[in-house]
């Protein structure tokens, strides 16, 4: 009977321990859906990769073959290009020399044209053929000189206290005498007067020679800027084209974009 009680107490103790362990054990949380999908995706990706020692899939085989073919094509093109250059090296060198000479000649010609424009002078003759009215201009011509005039018609004269030399020692003195000077008689006179030219129109007909240096006009600074622009563009290429060293030009002004309203 004592043994029976002992067995029952041991059995009860084991049951109590089992129930207490069940009560104290933490509950296992269920795996969320997003965790499951991530794990499944990672598993699928790992399954798609070729494992070491396993056979390659069709995709990787096609990728390797394509890369190999592309490399062969590129190598073939490079070899053909090298062979073409080696075969036509003389013609290519001659063409390069001719192109260099062509560029150098044209650049030198361009710089010469710009320099010629900067030092050019306009020489021409301007014909003038137009009337020049002097009305209301206040132009007055003073006259003060002695001259000889010729009568164009008979001129009657009435003189007082005249002394006339009749020739051969004969003289005629009279207090009042009337004479008529025939046409064509020359007379020595003194002119002293001011002649107004208000009603005069002067016809101007002449050729005026003109010489205008362009550097003294508004085009001078523009031609100078054009020369600087050409020097800035050609300066770095002068050693390559075989030109003389070009002096450095002032830097170009900074471009300012226009602000539209």
| 181-204 pLDDT tens trace | 889 989 888 988 888 888 888 888
Three-class secondary structure assignment of the chain: CHHHHHHHHHHHHHHHHHHHHHHHCCCCCCCCHHHHHHHHHHHHHHHHCCCCCCCCCHHHHHHHHHHHHHHHHHHHHHHHHHHHHHHCHHHHHHHHHHHHHHHHHHHHHHHHHHHHHHCCEEEEEEEEEEEEECCCCCCEEEEEEEEEEECCCCEEEEEEEEEEEEECCEEEEEEEEEEEECCCCEEEEEEEEEEECCCCEEEEEEEEEEEEEHHHCCHHHHHHHHHHHHHHHHHHHHHHHCCCCCCCCCCCCCCCCCCCC
Q: In the predicted model, what is the mean pLDDT of residues 131-137?
A: 83
Band (121; pLDDT cuts 50, 70, 90):
very high
Domain spans of the chain, in order of start: 140-196
- Please determine, for residue 127, whether its predicted confidence score (pLDDT) is greater than 60: yes
pLDDT of residue 118: 86
What pLDDT digit, counting tens, does each position of 41-61 carry? 454 445 545 455 445 688 888
């Amino acid at each position: 009977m004592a043994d029976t009680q002992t067995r029952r107490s041991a059995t009860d103790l084991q049951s109590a321990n089992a129930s207490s362990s069940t009560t104290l054990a933490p509950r296992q949380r269920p795996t969320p859906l997003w965790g499951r999908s991530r794990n499944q995706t990672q598993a699928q990706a790992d399954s798609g990769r070729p494992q070491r020692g396993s056979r390659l899939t069709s995709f990787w085989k096609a990728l390797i073959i394509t890369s190999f073919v592309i490399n062969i094509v590129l190598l073939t093109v490079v070899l053909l290009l090298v062979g073409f250059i080696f075969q036509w090296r003389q013609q290519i060198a001659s063409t390069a020399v001719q192109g260099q000479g062509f560029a150098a000649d044209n650049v030198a010609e361009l710089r010469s044209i710009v320099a010629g424009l900067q030092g050019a002078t306009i020489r021409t003759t301007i014909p003038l053929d137009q009337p020049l009215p002097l009305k209301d201009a206040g132009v007055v011509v003073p006259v003060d000189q002695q001259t000889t005039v010729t009568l164009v018609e008979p001129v009657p004269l009435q003189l007082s206290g005249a002394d006339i030399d009749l020739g051969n020692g004969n003289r005629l003195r009279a207090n009042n005498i009337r004479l008529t000077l025939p046409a064509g008689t020359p007379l020595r006179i003194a002119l002293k007067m001011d002649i107004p030219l208000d009603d005069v129109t002067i016809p101007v007909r002449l050729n005026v020679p003109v010489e205008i240096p362009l550097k003294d006009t508004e085009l001078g600074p523009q031609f100078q800027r054009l020369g600087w622009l050409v020097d800035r563009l050609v300066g770095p290429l002068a050693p390559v084209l075989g030109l003389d060293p070009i002096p450095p030009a002032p830097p170009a002004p900074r471009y300012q974009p226009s602000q539209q309203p």
